[in-house]
């Protein structure tokens, strides 16, 4: 980097245009150089203290900023080779002690160091004799682990065995029949858990286990058929009947229809719905759970809006021609006259509260019981003015006819935009039927969420 900067400085002296460019990119080049120098300096201090492995990391960071930085390359070469020697000594101690797991870890770390340095064009030497001892330790360690894993498999401790098989594959992917044994170590406990859940009547949970087995081995035993049966029996068919008091209001209330739409949007494959008129308890083709959603509209209140008016103080702008002595000409000047305008404000509200239950059709057992409620508000606020609306500004003043130091025209651009928004604001409230639709949508979403929560709770009965 220092060489590069010297070349740039020489070019800057000869070319004025380059001088401008340098002042733009120069700070970034200097920052890169500074970072590389800083990391190298830290690495040098660590190397002097004999901490070569830590020093190597600093040199790598320096070369990550500038791979041509000579001091960092020299430092990596020297400390890297020292690290290789230290690792070699460590490897042989572990080898002689029979600590094969650590010896192969040490050897792999040496390979990684040599590879990373090579990517930067720096060669680090590894003793050639290490390779044979490493392969010997790897075979011994994998043989020990393989024996332990197969013993756990024989004792039906499949999950513990799978952990060991996974480690073996991380060292040597094609070691013996580990891939197949590892797959079986995952399949068997999932299948067993699925059968246990199936026999207990927990079909939703069973289906989850069987699907995991299918993903690994679709032809394993009778998994495909058990998965199909579990899914069929895990289905929930909900009869959506009109809620009580639905006809007691002038506003149409169709909460079950909104629940149907909300359930469809949640995309739960185990829930389907039907209307009471089409529900047939004697239909043997459906083997899942038949439920009914019952409810009552406890409250539907529409608060009629009451508009309130309030006089506000403001200003209306106007333009006059005045003689400008400095420029010796007539000019248009904006002036403001004090005015009063009217602000209208009101609010409407619709409140909806329903109570509901999800029960079994077979015996009426209550599975979910809750209350859902929503309040929808609409606010109307606008300004009326009998003068020139385009020139109206908000403001403050004490007296209509006398000026005062505290008088203010609020004529900043955002303040003018606020006034224009109020002048052009809607004067109509939302229809009560539209507000009722929004309330029913929200209430239906709450009910649907509780239904889905019940359905998913069957995963952990």
Give me the CATH number covering residue 356. 3.40.50.10610
141 located within any domain: no
Q: What is the pLDDT of residue 241?
A: 86
In this structure, the answer to whether residues 110 and 241 fall within a common structural domain is no
Structure-token pair, residue 342:
């009217």
Structure tokens that stand for 193 in this block: 């858990």
The Cβ of residue 157 has, within 10 Å, a number of other Cβ atoms equal to 14
Residue 116 pLDDT level (bands cut at 50, 70, 90): very high
pTM beyond cutoff 0.85: no
| Lowest-confidence region among 213-227, 339-353, 403-417 | 213-227
| 271-274/392-396 β-pairing | unpaired
- Picking from 216, 404, 391, the residue whose alpha carbon sits closest to that of residue 315 is 391
For residue 25, pLDDT beyond 50: no
Tokens of 386: 């009998």
Secondary structure string (H, E, C) spanning 226-277: HHHHHHHHHCEEEEECCCECCCCCCCCCCHHHHHHHHHHHHCCCCEEEECHH
- pLDDT for residue 337 is more than 50: yes
Pair 16, 80 in one domain:
yes
Q: Mind listing the pLDDT tens digit for each residue in 37-53? A: 999 999 999 999 999 99
Query: What angle, rounded to 10 degrees, do the helices at 52-65 and 16-48 form?
Result: 170
Q: Is residue 384 domain-resident?
A: yes
pLDDT value for 7: 42
Query: In this structure, are 359 and 257 located in the same domain?
Result: yes
Per DSSP, the three-state class of 306 is coil
- Do the domain assignments include residue 406? yes
What is the pLDDT confidence band of residue 365, given thresholds at 50, 70 and 90? very high
| Listed residues 127, 158, 186: the one ending a domain | 127
Check pLDDT > 90 for residue 405: yes
Half-sphere exposure of 347 (CA within 13 A, CB side): 5
| Predicted pLDDT of residue 250 | 83
Largest CA distance in the chain: 109
Q: Are residues 297 and 197 in the same domain?
A: no
pLDDT surpasses 50 at 335: yes
Q: What is the pLDDT of residue 247?
A: 84
d(CA 260, CA 280): 19
Q: What is the mean pLDDT of the chain?
A: 89
Query: Are residues 180 and 110 located together in one domain of the fold?
Result: no
Q: Match 């509780």 to its residue by tokens.
A: 450
In a domain, 329, yes or no: no
In-domain check, residue 149: no
- When divided into structural domains, the chain yields a total of 3
3-state secondary structure of 222: coil
Same domain? 226 vs 257: no
pLDDT tens digits, one per residue of 409-439: 999 999 999 999 999 999 999 999 999 999 9
At 273 the pLDDT is 86
67 inside domain:
yes
Do 11 and 55 lie in one domain? The reply is yes
Rounded CA-CA distance 91/87 in Å is 6
Domain boundary among 234, 249, 273: 234
pLDDT digits (tens, 9 = 90+) for 274-326: 876 555 666 677 888 899 999 999 999 999 998 999 999 999 999 999 988 88
Judgement on whether residues 225 and 242 belong to the same structural domain of the protein:
no
> Tens digit of pLDDT for each residue in 167-205?
999 999 999 999 989 989 999 999 999 999 999 999 999
137 found inside a domain: no
In which band, very low, low, confident or very high, does the pLDDT at 1 lie, cut at 50, 70 and 90? Answer: very low
* Percent of the chain surpassing pLDDT 90: 75
Q: Which residues on neighbouring strands pair with residue 239, listed in sequence order? A: 274, 292
Based on the fold, state whether residues 86 and 204 are members of the same structural domain: no
Comparing CA positions, the residue from 307, 385, 382, 381 lying closest to residue 341 is: 385
What pLDDT score was predicted for residue 279?
57
Structure tokens at 176: 């013996």
Same-domain status, 306 and 373: yes
Q: Write out the residue range of the structural domain in which residue 70 sits.
A: 2-127
Same domain, yes or no: 228 and 249:
no
């Amino acid at each position: 980097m220092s060489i590069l900067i010297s070349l740039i400085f020489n070019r800057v002296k000869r070319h004025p245009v380059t001088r401008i460019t340098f002042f733009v990119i120069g700070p970034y080049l200097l920052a890169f150089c500074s970072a590389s120098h800083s990391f190298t300096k830290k690495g040098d201090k660590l190397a002097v203290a004999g901490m070569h492995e830590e020093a190597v990391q600093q040199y790598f960071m320096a070369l990550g900023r500038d791979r041509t930085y000579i001091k960092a390359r020299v430092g990596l070469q020297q400390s890297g080779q020292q690290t290789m020697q230290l690792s070699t000594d460590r490897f042989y101690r572990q080898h002689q002690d029979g600590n094969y797991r650590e010896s192969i870890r040490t050897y792999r770390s040496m390979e990684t160091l040599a590879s990373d340095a090579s990517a930067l064009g720096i060669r680090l030497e590894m003793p050639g004799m290490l390779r044979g001892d490493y392969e010997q330790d790897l075979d011994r360690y994998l043989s020990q682990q393989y024996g332990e894993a197969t013993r756990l498999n024989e004792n039906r401790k499949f999950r513990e065995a799978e952990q060991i098989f996974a480690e073996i594959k991380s060292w040597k992917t094609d070691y013996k029949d580990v891939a197949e044994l590892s797959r079986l170590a995952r399949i068997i406990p999932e299948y067993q858990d699925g059968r246990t859940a199936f026999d207990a009547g927990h079909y939703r949970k069973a289906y989850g286990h069987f699907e995991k087995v299918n993903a690994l081995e679709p032809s394993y035993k009778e998994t495909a058929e058990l998965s199909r049966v579990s899914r069929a029996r895990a289905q929930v068919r909900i009869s959506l009947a009109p809620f009580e008091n639905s006809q007691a209001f002038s506003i149409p209330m169709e909460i079950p229809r909104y629940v149907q739409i909300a359930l469809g949007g949640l995309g739960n494959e185990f829930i389907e719905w039907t209307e009471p008129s089409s529900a047939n308890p004697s239909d043997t083709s459906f083997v899942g759970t038949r439920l009914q959603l019952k409810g009552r509209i406890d409250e539907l209140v529409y608060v009629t809006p009451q508009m309130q008016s309030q006089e506000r103080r403001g200003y209306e702008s106007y333009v006059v021609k005045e003689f400008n002595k400095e420029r010796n000409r007539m000019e248009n000047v904006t002036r403001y006259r004090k005015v009063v305008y009217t602000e209208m404000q009101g609010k409407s509200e619709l409140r909806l509260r329903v109570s509901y239950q999800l029960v079994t059709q077979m015996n009426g057992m209550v599975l979910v019981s809750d209350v859902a409620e929503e309040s929808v508000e609409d606010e109307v606020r606008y300004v009326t003015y009998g003068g020139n609306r385009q020139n109206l500004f908000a403001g403050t003043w004490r007296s209509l006819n006398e000026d005062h130091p505290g008088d203010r025209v609020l004529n900043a651009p955002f303040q003018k935009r606020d006034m224009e928004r109020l002048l052009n604001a809607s004067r109509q409230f939302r229809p009560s039927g539209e507000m009722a639709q929004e309330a029913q949508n929200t209430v239906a979403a709450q009910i649907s969420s509780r239904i889905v929560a019940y359905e998913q709770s069957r995963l952990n009965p």
